[in-house]
Structure 1
Amino acid sequence: MPEMTTTITNPKVDGFLRKVKQWKEEYVELRNIILDCHLTEDFKWMHPCYTHEGKNIVLIHGFKEYIAILFHKGALLKDPHGILIQQTENVQAARQIRFTSIEQIVELEPAIRAYIDEAIELEKAGVEIPYKKTSEYPVPEEFQVKLDEDAALKEAFEALTPGRQRAYLYNIAQPKQSKTRAARVEKYIPQILDGKGIDD
């Protein structure tokens, strides 16, 4: 199939941009650059999102302090310019490039295009992110004690999806003090027994 050179904009994104109060100029500039890279415009998670053959490549999202483009598999990109940002240490795949002015976007345009092209090539090649396994997340001692004591809790925890297990392990491990970690364990036990994740 020949490459399509016509760019199709999505009416949902048009509507979104009409209402945007902050970063309007920046949104438009980023949209034009991304559309020029032959991606399909969509509107997902309340943001302009750009796909290649149905696979998410990049989205644009505005925050109070900055506007960013988010690469769904940004962890795989080479990042020769050192501009990709991992939002939090818990984010395994996605990476952002942040901007605070239209000038920055214009200046970084060649890099943005190169990163998008690389992201498309990775998607075409079917490269996947090697996610950390749940077994690589240590079980906090305060939680392990409870799991050893309570067979029903252990069984309920093991029945959760790996993502839900990781979220619990990560959140329980965060506080520096043991008593705070223990308090988190107590707080989460009823949810775990109900087969629910942290945010359910």
Structure 2
Amino acid sequence: MKKVYSVEEYIEINSHFGEALSMLRDIINTTELNESVKWSAPTYDLNGKNVLSIGAFKNHFCVWFFNGVFLKDEQGLLMNAQEKTKGLRQMRFNSIDEINESIVLSYVKEAIENQRLGKEIKPERKKKEVIIPPELQKNFESNTSFHDAFKALTPGKQREYCEHIESAKREATKYARLDKIKPMILQGVGLHDKYKNC
């Protein structure tokens, strides 16, 4: 796909649906959405937050709603493009005759209102569990100040230390690593802090 720099250029490249895309564009441009080109497609945002986009393919054209999952979809017009897509929904058309301007506009206005209300899918951040190696656990049981210093570290730094010990193949190496990192943990520094500050 050729890089597109303007909405007009996008419509020209997709001339087989040019009239239909222009009609969708005109409907959307009656609202306060800002028009731009992102990912080589016409995209519309509200205060810098993407609300929708229009697109053309070989046999159909569509309106993509970035957080379409929140639309009521009373007309049953929206489809999920892929199983793993969480928020994105598509209103698909095969010909210009399928466009009902007032229905499209009502969906666009609802999408704008949802954006105003802050309805959006937030990316999931899975918290990694900190698995304490037995060698470290033994030290905690015999040295409470060492355990307290470890608990005071961020989960990321705790994980780095645990993985550092666990990755050693031999038990002797694990204990050698533990002796080496003990002063660092007591000082409250992370395993790789000296490299991060360079």
What are structure 2's unaligned runs of at least 5 residues? 128-162, 164-198
Q: What is the CA RMSD across the aligned residues, in angstroms?
A: 1.9
Matched, 1:115 2:107: yes
Instruction: Tell me the residue number matched to 1:68.
Output: 62
- Alpha-carbon deviations, 1:14-69, whole Å to 9, x = none? 22223333211111111001111221110001100111111111100111121010
> Counterparts of 1:9-20 in structure 2 under 5 Å?
12-20=6-14
Verify the 8 A CA contact 1:92 1:131 in the aligned structure 2.
Answer: no
> Counterparts of 1:31-110 in structure 2 under 5 Å?
31-105=25-99, 108-110=100-102
- Alpha-carbon deviations, 1:168-194, whole Å to 9, x = none? xxxxxxxxxxxxxxxxxxxxxxxxxxx
Shift of 1:96: 0.3
Instruction: Tell me the residue number matched to 1:141.
Output: none
Report the residue type matching 1:128 in the other structure.
E
Instruction: Tell me the residue number matched to 1:145.
Output: none
Q: Counterparts of 1:101 and 1:14 in 2: how far apart (Å)?
A: 20
Name the count of aligned residue pairs.
Answer: 124
Q: Counterparts of 1:129 and 1:101 in 2: how far apart (Å)?
A: 31
- Alpha-carbon deviations, 1:113-160, whole Å to 9, x = none? 11111111111111222666759xxxxxxxxxxxxxxxxxxx7xxxxx
Partner secondary structure for residue 77 of structure 2: coil
What are structure 1's unaligned runs of at least 5 residues? 1-10, 136-154, 156-200
Q: Counterparts of 2:40 and 2:118 in 1: how far apart (Å)?
A: 26
Q: Which of 21, 24, 27 matches 2:18?
A: 24
Cα separation, partners in 2 of 1:104 and 1:133, compared to 1, 3 Å? same
Q: Counterparts of 1:40 and 1:89 in 2: how far apart (Å)?
A: 29
Partner secondary structure for residue 23 of structure 1: helix
Q: TM-score, normalised by structure 2?
A: 0.58
Instruction: Tell me the residue number matched to 1:187.
Output: none
Runs of 4+ in structure 1 displaced over 6 angstroms? none
How many percent identity over aligned positions?
35
Report the residue type matching 1:32 in the other structure.
D
Verify the 8 A CA contact 1:68 1:97 in the aligned structure 2.
Answer: yes
Which protein is bigger by CA-based radius of gyration?
2
Partner secondary structure for residue 88 of structure 1: coil
